[in-house]
């Protein structure tokens, strides 16, 4: 349990969940109006601390400059929204929603607040005595934006990063197609031709070598060439995929909030046309 003297060690220090993960920074501590003990702490969450959620600190503990609460980070971030600027107190309805969300016994707390001599529920302003926690200001918390009579001006910075993600996939696929090809080749063939020659002194002996009158046959075989097509598979090239990285310039636009500080004295000088303060 967090005690009142530990509040300065809680404010503006990290709040860790049950697993040791940082939830955010503690900004306000709310006290029980009856016991005066710390009841709730508001935690700034989100990337730039733009959200503020409530978490019970009855079972919290301060360890080495941070506060540990027995809840998960997601549990705290999803807690019901409560307006911390609502006068420094939680309304009965707001506190009841928080009790229900964190599984706390609302009836037991209400009964404790209404014990004789402990003070009852302050119905007039809608504040609960048991948990209508008042914001801890006297315990070391200063007004936001002020320190040592000086006002702090803050502004948001835009941070732009990059993330690597899958943009698509390319595959190599091999398949077979059939194409028609033409080749021209010379083909030879034989044709029969009848040659007749007269009897001369050179061929007379060959012509008279056989019988004078007879029947005979003589056969000549003719030949021709025909095209024969054969195929063979031969490697022709190697194909692979490689990824090339290209850098492109892209302009990212966002909105950031900046605080401006104006002085009423400066406004008065502007109204007088930029002249210095009037002398009596």
For residue 73, the domain's CATH number is: 3.90.50.10
For 77, counting Cβ atoms within 10 Å of its Cβ (0-12 exposed, 13-18 middle, 19+ buried), the class is middle
pLDDT at 236: 92
Domain that holds residue 129: 4-139
**pLDDT for residue 121:** 30
Classify residue 197: in a domain, yes or no.
Answer: no
155-164 contacts: CB < 8 A, separation 24 or more? Answer: 155/256, 155/257, 155/258, 155/259, 156/48, 156/256, 156/257, 156/258, 157/256, 158/254, 158/256, 160/252, 160/254
Total structural domains within the chain:
1
With respect to residue 154, please indicate whether it lies within any of the assigned structural domains. no
23 is a domain residue? yes
- Is there a domain that residue 29 lies in? yes
Residue 273 lies in a domain: no
203, part of any domain: no
- What's the pLDDT at 122? 29
pLDDT digits (tens, 9 = 90+) for 190-212: 999 998 889 898 888 888 887 87
Residues whose CB is less than 8 angstroms from the CB of residue 244 and which lie 6 or more positions away in sequence, other chains included: none
Rg (CA), the chain: 51
pLDDT (0 to 100) of residue 74: 87
Distance CA 278, CA 280 (A): 7
Which is nearest to 235 in space by CA: 174, 182, 179, 173? 174
Q: Please report whether residue 277 resides in a domain.
A: no
CB atoms closer than 10 angstroms to residue 11: 19
Specify the pLDDT at position 222. 93
Q: Which regions in the chain score pLDDT beneath 70?
A: 46-50, 84-88, 107-148, 267, 270-280
CA-CA-CA-CA dihedral for 180, 181, 185, 188, to nearest 10: -10
In-domain check, residue 151: no
Looking at residue 274, what is its pLDDT? 53
């Amino acid at each position: 349990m967090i005690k009142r003297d530990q509040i300065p060690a809680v404010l503006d220090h990290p709040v860790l969940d049950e697993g040791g993960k940082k939830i955010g920074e503690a900004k306000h501590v709310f006290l029980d109006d009856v016991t005066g003990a710390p009841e709730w702490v508001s935690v700034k969450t989100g990337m730039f601390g733009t959200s503020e959620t409530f978490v019970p600190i009855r079972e919290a503990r301060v360890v080495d400059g941070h506060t540990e609460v027995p809840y998960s980070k997601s549990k705290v971030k999803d807690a019901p929204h409560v307006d911390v600027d609502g006068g420094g107190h939680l309304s009965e309805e707001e506190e009841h929603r928080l009790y229900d969300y964190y599984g706390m016994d609302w009836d037991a707390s209400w009964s404790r607040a209404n014990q004789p001599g402990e003070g009852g529920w302050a119905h007039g302003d809608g504040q609960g005595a048991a948990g209508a926690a008042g914001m801890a200001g006297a315990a070391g918390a200063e007004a936001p934006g002020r320190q040592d009579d000086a006002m702090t001006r803050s502004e948001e910075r835009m941070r732009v990063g990059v993330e690597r993600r899958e943009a698509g996939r390319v595959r190599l696929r091999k398949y077979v197609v059939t194409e028609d090809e033409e080749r021209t080749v010379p083909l030879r063939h034989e044709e029969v031709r009848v040659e007749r020659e007269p009897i001369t002194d050179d061929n007379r002996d060959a012509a008279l070598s056989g019988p004078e009158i007879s029947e005979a046959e003589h056969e000549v075989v003719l030949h021709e060439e025909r095209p024969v097509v054969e195929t063979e598979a031969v490697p022709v090239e190697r194909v692979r995929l490689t990824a090339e990285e290209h850098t492109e310039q892209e302009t990212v636009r966002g909105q950031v909030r900046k605080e401006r500080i104006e002085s009423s004295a400066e406004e008065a000088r502007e109204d007088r046309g930029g002249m210095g303060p009037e002398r009596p």
